[in-house]
Amino acid sequence: MSELYRFPLKQSVGIKAVPCVIKGDDVHRGQPLAFQGNGLGCGICSSVTGQIHEVTEDEITVEASPEQDRDYVRLKSTEPLDLIREAGIVGLGGAGFPTWAKLAKPFDGSGTVIVNAAECEPILDHNLTRIRKNPEQLLRGLDIAMELVHAEHGIIAIKGIHKETIALLKEKLKNPRVKISLLENVYPAGEERAIVRDTMGVLLPPTALPSEAGAVVINAESCCRIEEAVDQKKPMIDKDLTVAGKIRGNEQDKLIQVFLDVPVGTPVRSLFERAGGKENHGLADTYGELIMGGPFTGHRTDLDAPVLKTTGGLIAAECFPKGPEKIGLLVCACGADEARLREIAKSMGSEVVGVAFCKQAEPVKNTRKCQNPGHCPGQVEKIMKLKKAGAQAVLISNCTDCTNTVMACAPKLGLPVYHCTDGALRAVNMKLIRRFKG
């Protein structure tokens, strides 16, 4: 049987897309599978040529033809914003906000488009790889976005450690209204409000959008896909990915691999097989879990799951250590949430006896937002609360600055520290998040 590609109808902020195909239909790469519904959302196009295998209320499955090529059905719109909307481009850094909606309202006065090229999460490298391969594409996408929203200024926000990428951008940059802004090598440097703060000097409240500072923030890959939609009439059907961790063979050069233009809907197993071979689906004999996303904010996945528009990483993490009998959770708004930490604690064999939240993790709707991302006021009070609850160790999801403050007090109280990123970082031989210096 040919490979099955799955396309969930909800791959962005907003409502589900509405199917426009039925079982048995033949489809070509780039052809619409589902249109944007009546509201905020995005349409979905097929990334492969084949036949519709199944249509449910939640997803469409395409059985791919044995022979595939890279050609695609061109977009039909003529205006840039319409092309971006028809293409189904969303925030490809993980948030998934429809890009057309970000660019639909021009600034009344001076405005700024900021490209988020921070590559904020450790391990991930696909955004930078694309920029190094084709810096002109990023710059062209930024120009298009600036024109659409009538922005006077453009900023490319990138960590200063990425010297080669910065040099390439400077060499190709011709627009005098665009500047490159260097960020510290910390997490969460790529968080939207952190980027606005660090590039424009404006700290927005947790409930605010960048528009309140006269800015639009666009992920680097999203910016490149804007160029594809407008100049090449290409739908959002391919995704750049970092595949890493316990890859079969475990050679150092296989620990972190980047694949560009992976068809959306591709099964997770196919990516690990590309990275490590067919045996055991490319995975090492032992591993702890499969993570979709980055070490801080990713979630557990499985081999049958599909690559989504918002998928940036696939990580086979190290085996879980045996945890203490009783553990406390310290939840940070910038990292893994309580449910994710409970999942990790369970895999460690530990009972959760207390939960504390970073003092800056302000409740906002159904989530939490940091009052000042990456700038920590101290965690002693929270750690002492967890020790009083009976915790023999703490499992945390804090940003690098918060983690520094945890490490300044928890060990002194006799509490070992585990971090939500440990399994992923151990799997690629990277330094663990503990005391951190950029």
Q: Quick one: which of 334, 335, 312 has its CA closest to 262?
A: 312
pTM: 0.96
Mean pLDDT of the chain: 95
The per-residue pLDDT for 15 is 95
The per-residue pLDDT for 437 is 56
Query: Angle, nearest 10°, between helix axes 80-87 and 135-149?
Result: 120
Residue 87 phi, psi dihedral angles, 5° rounding: -65, -25
Residue 103 phi, psi dihedral angles, 5° rounding: -100, 5
Percentage of the chain lying above the pLDDT 70 cut: 98
Give the confidence band of 94 by pLDDT, cuts at 50, 70, 90: confident
Give the confidence band of 46 by pLDDT, cuts at 50, 70, 90: very high
Which pLDDT tens digit goes with each residue over 281-309? 999 999 999 999 999 999 999 999 999 99
**Cα–Cα distances in angstroms (integers) from residue 119 to residues 161, 249, 300, in the given order:** 11, 27, 21
Looking at per-residue pLDDT, the higher value among 1 and 270 belongs to: 270
The per-residue pLDDT for 252 is 64
Residue 319 has pLDDT above 80, yes or no: yes
Residue 123 has pLDDT above 90, yes or no: yes
Residue 240 has pLDDT above 70, yes or no: yes
The per-residue pLDDT for 438 is 45
Which pLDDT tens digit goes with each residue over 380-390? 999 999 999 99
Residue 130 has pLDDT above 80, yes or no: yes
| pLDDT (average), residues 118-131 | 96
The per-residue pLDDT for 83 is 98
| pLDDT (average), residues 394-415 | 93
CB 193 within 8 A of CB 208: yes
Handedness of CA 174, 176, 178, 183 (dihedral sign): positive
The per-residue pLDDT for 365 is 85
What is the distance, to the nearest Å, from the Cα of residue 226 to the centroid of all Cα atoms in its chain? Answer: 17
Which pLDDT tens digit goes with each residue over 54-68? 999 999 999 999 999
The per-residue pLDDT for 250 is 60
Three-class SS of residue 40?
A: coil
Give the confidence band of 436 by pLDDT, cuts at 50, 70, 90: low
Residue 414 has pLDDT above 90, yes or no: yes
Strands 153-159 and 178-183: parallel
| pLDDT (average), residues 362-383 | 90
Round to whole Å and give the CA distance between 405 and 117: 27
Q: Which residues pair with 316 in a beta bridge?
A: 245, 290
Amino acid of residue 233: K
The per-residue pLDDT for 254 is 78
The per-residue pLDDT for 378 is 86
Residue 1 has pLDDT above 60, yes or no: no
Residue 260 has pLDDT above 80, yes or no: yes
